[in-house]
Amino acid sequence: MTSRVRHLGVLLLAVLIVVIAFSSSSLAARWLDDGVCNAFTLFFGTGIAGDSPVYQGTHFVIEKGSHLAMYFGFGFILSIAWPGASKRKFLWICLTGLAMGIASELLQFLFPGRDPALRDVAINLAGTVLGAMAARRYGGRCRWERAERVEVLNS
């Protein structure tokens, strides 16, 4: 992998860490609530009460899905940015995702209206593991790595 690709991976990783940290804030929670309400209005032409079971279920799926997606990206990008493939690297990536998940949840203590949960730490870890597994499975098939192999073979 070229150093330019690795640097891009590190930059993307830094951006994702900032996004994860921001997601712990009260503002992010309010944006999520507003987004769910606006989506209901957009798709169904009417708003929905915040205490409705449909709203609560949809909000839960979207919130936990966003945890999974952010940490999937974290695990995937960290795997691509960190060269080599080994069980030890995979373990470190998973431990890093676990540490990030714990830090993200602990950060919520600083914001009113936020409630840290062990369930979210588990979802964050699952996202990291899935992202690292996907990178291990598909990351080696990226266009830039194929191009590098061809260059090495042709030289």
Q: What is the pLDDT of residues 51-90, one digit of tens each?
A: 778 777 877 888 888 889 999 999 998 888 776 767 888 8
What integer pLDDT is reported at residue 68 of this predicted model?
A: 93
User: Pick from 62, 64, 75, 84: which is nearest to 17 by CA?
Assistant: 75
- pTM of structure: 0.76
Distances (CA, A) of 143 to 21, 61, 83, 86: 31, 33, 16, 22
| pLDDT at site 143 | 47
DSSP string, 36-97: HHHHHHHHHSS---TTSHHHHHHHHHHHHHHHHHHHHHHHHHHHHHS-S--HHHHHHHHHHH
Q: What is the mean pLDDT of residues 136-155?
A: 57
Statement: residue 49 has pLDDT above 50: yes
Average pLDDT, rounded, for the chain: 80
How buried is 121 (Cβ within 10 angstroms: 0-12 exposed, 13-18 middle, 19+ buried)? buried
